[in-house]
C-alpha cells in the first residue's frame, strides 16, 4: 500500500509534461505490451464517472469541460491511477480527448446543455412540440451546431498540449436514432405518435438517421477517415473505447416497446446506419434486450465486436443466441454488487463467467458517479476480487 500511496502522490503532484512521460513509460512497459498482445478472455473494466475523480483529485468539472490543460491533466492522472492502483483488465493506451457525455448529440438539435458542480453534462427538456416542426429542423453541422464550436476548440487545445506524444481523438456520434427521438420529442409523446401519426414518427426517425450520416460525413472528411474505418477509435474518456459505428440506445427496452414497435421503429433505422458504417462495433442498451436479441432481424444488424447485456436482459439466453465471436459486456449493479458484500460480488462474477457459453466477457463496474476516494478504493477491491475469481477461468 505504501508503494501505491507513493504512486498516487506522484500522479497528483506532477505537471502535464511529467504525466505525459509517465504515460509513455507505462504504455511501453513489458506488462502492458503483454496485455495488449494477449488480452484475457474474461476482463474487469472500470467506468468511474468524472465527478468521482473531480472530488478526489481536486479539479472542477466546469474547468475540465472548458480548459484544455485541466482536461488533459485530469485524464492522464486517472488513466495512470486506474492502471497502477485500481489495476483493472484494460491495457494502458495513449488516447486522450474530450466528450460531453449525454449532452453532446442532443445539443446538435438545439437542446440546452446542462452542466454543474460535480455532475456529468446532460441535456434539457424536449424541444419538438409537434412532429410537423421537423420540417423546420436543419441537419446538424459538424462545425457549428450545439457544442461543436467548443469541442473543436478543446480538441485543438489538447492537441497542442499533447505535442504529438499522445493520440488525441475527436468524439463521434454514439446515440442511436430511437434514443435521439426520445430526447428531442419525449418518450410519452412518441407513444402517442405511434398511434396517432405513424407517418410523422417514421419521418422523424429518418431525419435523425440522415442527420447522423450528414454529420458523420463531415467528421470523416475532417479526420481523413472512412465511416467504415473500424480501426479509428474514440472513447467516452471515463469508460471504454468507441468506434464510429457504436450505437447507444438505452431507451430500446422490450419491457416497454412491443415486438412490432421494435420491428417498425428500431430495426430499419439501425440497419441503415449499420449498412453505412459497414457494421456496428458495439450495441448498448440498459433496457431488456432479450426479445430483441432473439429476433430473426438481429443478425442483419451486423454487430461486429461487442453486445451490451443489461441486468434486465436474460444473460443465459443472450449467451445462447448472440454469436460466440461477439464479446458480452455486462454491468455490475453499483448498489448490490460493487458496494455489496464480497461474497455476493464473487457469486455474481462466478455466474457471469460460468454461463458465458464460450463468449469472451467484459464485466464492468460503471456508471459510478458518487463518492470520492472511498469509491476509488472500493473499485480497487472489486478489481482484486475479480482477479481472484477469474484467474481459474482465464487459465482454463
Predicted confidence (pLDDT) per residue in 121-145, tens digit: 999 999 999 999 999 999 999 999 9
pLDDT at 395 over 70: no
pLDDT at 177 over 70: yes
More confident residue, 118 or 191: 191
Nearest alpha carbon to residue 53 among 20, 86, 6: 86
**Positive or negative, the Cα torsion across 370, 376, 377, 378?**
positive
Q: What percent of the chain has pLDDT over 70?
A: 98
Long-range contacts of 303-307 (CB under 8 A, 24+ apart): 303/279, 304/230, 304/245, 304/279, 304/280, 305/243, 305/281, 306/281, 306/282, 306/362, 307/282, 307/283
Query: Per-residue confidence at 393, pLDDT binned at 50, 70, 90?
Result: confident
d(CA 317, CA 320): 5
Nearest alpha carbon to residue 267 among 305, 290, 298, 245: 298
Contact between residue 92 and residue 27 where contact means Cβ atoms under 8 Å apart: yes
- Centroid of chain to Cα 107: 18
pLDDT in tens, 318-334: 999 999 999 999 999 99
Q: Where are the beta strands (DSSP E) in 158-277?
A: 167-168, 233-235, 241-243, 247-248
The pLDDT score that the predictor gives to residue 240 is 73
Overall size of the chain counted in residues: 396
Query: Per-residue confidence at 104, pLDDT binned at 50, 70, 90?
Result: very high
pLDDT in tens, 256-266: 999 999 999 99
Burial of 369 (0-12, 13-18, 19+ CB in 10 A): middle
Give the helix/strand (H/E) hosting 188: helix 187-196
Tell me what the pLDDT averaged over the chain comes to. 95
pTM of the model as a whole: 0.95
Q: Quick one: average pLDDT of 241-269?
A: 94
d(CA 193, CA 136): 18
The pLDDT score that the predictor gives to residue 119 is 80
Amino acid at each position: 500500500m505504501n508503494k501505491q500511496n507513493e504512486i498516487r502522490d506522484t500522479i497528483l503532484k506532477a505537471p502535464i509534461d511529467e504525466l505525459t512521460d509517465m504515460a509513455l513509460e507505462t504504455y511501453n512497459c513489458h506488462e502492458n505490451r503483454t496485455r495488449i498482445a494477449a488480452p484475457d478472455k474474461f476482463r474487469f473494466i472500470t467506468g468511474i464517472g468524472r465527478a468521482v475523480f473531480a472530488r478526489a483529485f481536486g479539479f472542477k468539472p466546469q474547468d475540465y469541460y472548458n480548459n484544455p490543460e485541466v482536461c488533459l491533466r485530469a485524464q492522464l492522472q486517472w488513466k495512470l491511477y486506474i492502471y497502477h492502483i485500481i489495476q483493472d483488465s484494460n491495457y494502458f493506451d495513449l488516447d486522450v480527448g474530450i466528450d460531453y457525455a449525454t449532452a453532446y448529440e442532443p445539443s446538435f438539435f438545439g437542446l440546452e446543455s446542462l452542466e454543474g458542480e460535480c455532475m456529468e453534462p446532460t441535456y434539457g427538456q424536449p424541444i419538438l412540440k409537434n412532429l410537423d416542426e421537423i420540417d423546420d429542423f436543419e441537419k446538424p453541422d459538424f462545425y457549428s451546431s450545439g457544442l461543436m464550436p467548443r469541442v473543436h476548440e478543446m480538441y485543438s487545445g489538447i492537441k497542442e498540449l499533447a505535442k504529438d506524444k499522445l493520440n488525441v481523438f475527436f468524439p463521434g456520434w454514439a446515440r442511436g436514432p430511437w434514443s435521439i427521438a426520445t430526447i428531442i420529442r419525449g418518450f410519452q409523446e412518441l407513444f402517442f405518435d405511434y398511434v396517432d401519426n405513424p407517418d410523422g414518427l417514421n419521418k422523424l426517425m429518418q431525419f435523425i438517421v440522415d442527420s447522423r450520416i450528414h454529420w458523420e460525413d463531415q467528421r470523416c472528411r475532417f479526420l481523413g477517415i472512412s465511416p467504415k474505418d473500424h480501426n479509428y477509435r474514440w472513447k467516452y474518456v471515463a469508460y471504454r473505447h468507441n468506434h464510429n459505428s457504436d450505437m447507444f440506445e438505452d431507451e430500446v427496452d422490450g419491457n416497454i416497446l412491443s415486438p412490432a414497435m421494435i420491428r417498425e421503429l428500431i430495426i430499419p433505422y439501425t440497419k441503415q446506419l449499420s449498412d453505412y458504417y459497414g457494421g456496428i462495433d458495439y450495441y448498448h442498451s440498459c433496457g431488456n434486450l432479450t426479445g430483441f436479441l432473439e429476433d430473426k432481424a438481429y443478425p442483419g444488424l451486423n454487430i461486429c465486436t461487442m453486445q451490451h447485456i443489461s441486468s434486465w436482459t436474460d444473460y443465459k439466453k443472450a449467451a445462447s443466441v448472440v454469436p460466440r465471436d461477439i464479446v458480452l459486456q455486462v454491468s455490475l449493479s453499483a448498489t448490490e454488487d460493487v458496494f455489496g458484500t464480497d461474497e455476493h460480488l464473487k457469486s455474481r462474477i462466478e455466474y457471469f463467467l460460468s454461463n458465458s457459453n464460450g463468449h469472451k466477457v467484459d464485466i464492468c463496474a460503471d456508471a459510478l458517479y458518487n463518492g470520492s476516494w472511498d469509491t476509488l478504493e472500493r473499485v480497487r477491491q472489486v478489481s482484486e476480487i475479480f482477479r481472484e475469481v477469474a484467474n481459474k477461468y482465464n487459465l482454463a
